[in-house]
Amino acid sequence: MKNGGTQRNKDGKAVRPSGHIAPRTARGCRSIRALPDIRAGWRFAEPSPTVERETRGREDFGWSLRLCSLPLQFSLAMKTTGDKESLYFNPMKNILLQFERLRRHYEQVVRTYDEVSLLDLTHSLRNWTELAGTLQELAPVFSDAMAFRTSSPTKRASRSIKGYRYVLAYMPGGALTYANINNIFSSPELGEMGFMENGGVKASSSPTVKEPYLISITLKATHETLELSRLCLVVGDANENMRRLLTGQDIQRRKFKQWLESECVKLSYINADNKLEFFTISLKTLIRRVSNNLTGASHPLINSENFDQENRFDAPIKYLFEYKVGGLPLPYFIILKAAQDIIGIFPKYIPIDKTKTPPD
């Protein structure tokens, strides 16, 4: 058989190569659905001579394989029985590892805030944005579940603040943290403002801008924890009707991929060109831009001159870091809430502790 040619037997008939693990579909590609479900455990396959040579003496290794234009990460383990080596495939193992990685980073960030820990958590979440398609094939019971909640301002509220400067962030269920530093809310427009017992904030004695403003926050603060569910700040001639409209929310249930693509924050601010610019930022975009560009968490920046040149969302997301609740930036709460949701929902559909392992 020549390189790239078809493997044939002595009678000239085409045969499947050694190590074949999935039947071919009518379209000529290997079917994802032929791969084992997580609850089916591990699958046995004979390694090809090339795999045997490249893996001899190694206990485990990773494979990156593209099936039907869909990249998958396969974790493989090598077992030796007598003089025979065999491979065990578990396409869900990588996802389970990513879940444990996310859980550990979350446990760190929820108790102690620092930039390095936040970026590690964000990078772990970025992997979940890239796994959305893979999860749809391998774990549809999770991906198709309407288990994730999103929240956004109502249409009437959005119309009422058109032309104003504002930031709107809704987190249904709240983002709970033990890492709060103080009882202060701060923003570029208003400076620092103290929390009130009813969950609101005190009026600023010296706001940065000399304009009317409206601020509405839903939070629960104790001596040990802080839970933020909503942050609405509007700079301009606001009124009580606008406050009531912003208190209302349009809460919906979404599938995993829809949840990632739903808006997590709305922002209208004066940009570097001194023009009012409006952004609706999805959860997926926020995660990817924080992990990629803001401080190079996923891909370290070699040339700092290219820091802001690639993505239109980088500047507004950096601006969001200037909004702080309890000494913690607003994107911290959004990212923490995203991790909190995955960690709380994923095990309800995927039996983490009951996953089978390769036989000894």
| Confidence band, pLDDT 50/70/90 cuts, at residue 34 | very low
What angle, 0 to 180 degrees and rounded to 10, lies between the N-to-C axes of helices 115-130 and 93-109? 150
pTM across the whole model: 0.72
Q: What is the pLDDT of residue 216?
A: 87
Which of 29-33, 37-41, 50-54, 249-253: highest mean pLDDT? 249-253
Alpha carbon 135 to chain centroid, angstroms = 13
Task: Please give the Cα distance from 134 to 119 (Å, whole number).
Answer: 24
Q: What is the pLDDT of residue 183?
A: 83
- The yes-or-no verdict on residue 133 having pLDDT over 70 is yes
- The yes-or-no verdict on residue 98 having pLDDT over 90 is yes
> How does pLDDT run across 271-330, given as a tens digit for each residue?
989 999 999 999 999 999 999 865 544 444 444 444 444 478 999 999 999 999 999 999
Greater confidence (106 vs 2) lies with 106
Q: What is the pLDDT of residue 294?
A: 56
> How does pLDDT run across 242-252, given as a tens digit for each residue?
888 888 888 99
Span 72-98, mean pLDDT?
Answer: 58
Q: In one letter, which amino acid is 270?
A: I
Q: In one letter, which amino acid is 217?
A: I
Concatenating the DSSP letter of every residue in 193-220 gives: EEB-TTS-BPPPSS-SS-S-EEEEEEEE
Greater confidence (313 vs 207) lies with 313
CA distances from residue 67 to 24, 71, 114, 265 in whole angstroms, order as listed: 10, 7, 39, 35
Percentage of the chain beyond pLDDT 90 is 44
Please write down the long-range contacts of 257-263, taking CB distance under 8 Å and 24 or more positions apart. 257/132, 257/133, 257/136, 257/143, 258/148, 258/150, 259/148, 259/150, 259/283, 259/341, 260/128, 260/129, 260/132, 260/284, 262/150, 262/152, 263/150, 263/152
Span 22-41, mean pLDDT?
Answer: 38
Task: Please give the Cα distance from 142 to 343 (Å, whole number).
Answer: 12
DSSP alpha helix (H) spans, 148-297: 155-160, 240-247, 256-261, 283-289
Q: What is the pLDDT of residue 214?
A: 87
Task: Please give the Cα distance from 265 to 272 (Å, whole number).
Answer: 20
Task: Please give the Cα distance from 114 to 124 (Å, whole number).
Answer: 16
| Confidence band, pLDDT 50/70/90 cuts, at residue 147 | very high
CA distances from residue 113 to 116, 173, 187, 276, 314 in whole angstroms, order as listed: 9, 21, 19, 32, 22
Task: Please give the Cα distance from 194 to 49 (Å, whole number).
Answer: 69
Q: In one letter, which amino acid is 296?
A: G
Task: Please give the Cα distance from 360 to 338 (Å, whole number).
Answer: 37
